[in-house]
Amino acid sequence: MKKALVIIVSFYLLILFQNSFLIHFGINRFIPNLVFIAVAVLSFLFPNSFVVIGAIGGGFLLDVFSSKPFGFYTVIMFCLSILTMFILKKYVRNPSFK
Q: Tell me the three state secondary structure of residue 30.
A: strand
**DSSP 8-state assignment for residue 27:** B
Sequence ranges of the domains in the chain: 2-18+33-93
Q: How far apart are CA 60 and CA 82, in angstroms?
A: 16
* pTM of the model as a whole: 0.79
> What stretches of the chain show up as alpha helix (H) in DSSP?
2-20, 34-45, 49-65, 72-91
Q: How far apart are CA 82 and CA 47, in angstroms?
A: 9
List, for residues 41-96, the tens digit of each pLDDT value.
887 777 677 788 888 888 998 899 888 899 999 999 899 888 888 888 888 776 66
- Pair 76, 59: CB distance under 8 Å: yes
